[in-house]
Amino acid sequence: MEDLQVAKRAIERWPAVLQYIDSQKKLPKSKVPTSVSCTLVKEAAADPLFKAKLHFFAFVARQLKPFLETFQTDAPMVPFLAEELQSTLMILLSCFIKRDVLENTKTVLQMLKLDALDKTLHVPLKQLDIGFATKQALDKASQKLQANALRGQEFKKECITFLATTSKKLLERSPLMYPVVRLLSSLDLVENLKERSLISLCLVQDSLVGRPMEDAIPKALVQHAKAARMRYVQYLENEKKKKVATENDRKRKELMSDIAHQTAKRQKIINSIEVMQREAD
């Protein structure tokens, strides 16, 4: 996750790096840096696809970063782990797995059984999702690779291999393999608001086996829910009264301020008249 910022910075500074490498060609051989790091940079600069590779790395890192940021915490996040991890894995799989295969993958267990390395499940190279910035960098590099156009195709194949291998490892080592992780999603408050949540299904089951729904739901909660509309109407009425009172108070203050201003103005005129009368006498 930390390397994402490094990749972004490298992409921003890459034109300047290329300019620096070109400037070394004009230097005497004795003044050309020969350190290991400089040699590595020169090799990267000689690769027309290097910038596309940086963009692809950043593209994949951005898919994984939200999950890592959310769950690298001491807070009790286990109830949300299953849904978030499934969503992250599906986003990664959608980059290279055929759409019809993913549409038929409707449960977590079906997703875990997918063989990400099975090439029959992979999309054609033209449909591979490597990110807009990667595709744009690859198109620009293709202009320099006219004599060797196959390198662009090889790059896409390498991208698929990387995505498939990464997905395979994540699926094999996923916490979703453990039933306890999947079952703990029942503690997710948002999940329990859904019509077919575990809690709602339990209420239905309790009612079907002969237990009255009134016993399944506390009476205090029922009464509270019945009075919700009344409380809402009362809330709107109170807000309306507050608004009217605030407006009346504002008008009263404006009127008092205007009266004070007129009184001061009147007193000033009276004082001016008195001064003029004394000067006339």
| Mean pLDDT of all residues in 8-18 | 91
Per-residue pLDDT band for 212 (boundaries 50, 70, 90) equals low
Q: Indicate if the pLDDT at residue 9 is higher than 60.
A: yes
**Residue 100, token pair as written in the block:** 């019809």
Cβ-Cβ contacts under 8 Å for 194 (sequence gap 6 or more)? 200
Cβ-Cβ contacts under 8 Å for 81 (sequence gap 6 or more)? 71, 175, 181, 184, 185
| Mean pLDDT of all residues in 203-218 | 59
DSSP letter for 281, please.
Answer: -
1 or 183, higher pLDDT = 183
Alpha-carbon distance of 186 to 198, in angstroms, equals 6
Burial of 166 (0-12, 13-18, 19+ CB in 10 A): middle
End-to-end CA distance of the chain: 92
pTM above 0.75, yes or no: no
Question: Of 92, 64, 88, 87, which Cα lies nearest the Cα of 160?
Answer: 92
Q: Indicate if the pLDDT at residue 202 is higher than 90.
A: no
For 31-62, b where at least 16 C-beta lie within 10 A, e where not — what string? eeeeeeeeeebeebeeebbbbbbbbbbbbbbe
Alpha-carbon distance of 51 to 45, in angstroms, equals 9
Per-residue pLDDT band for 217 (boundaries 50, 70, 90) equals low
The reported pLDDT for the residue numbered 211 is 56
Per-residue pLDDT band for 208 (boundaries 50, 70, 90) equals low
Q: Indicate if the pLDDT at residue 210 is higher than 60.
A: no
- Which tens digit of pLDDT belongs to each residue from 29-67? 888 888 888 889 889 988 889 999 999 999 999 999 988
| Mean pLDDT of all residues in 77-95 | 90
| Mean pLDDT of all residues in 224-229 | 77
Q: What pairs with residue 122 in β-bridges?
A: 97
The reported pLDDT for the residue numbered 193 is 56
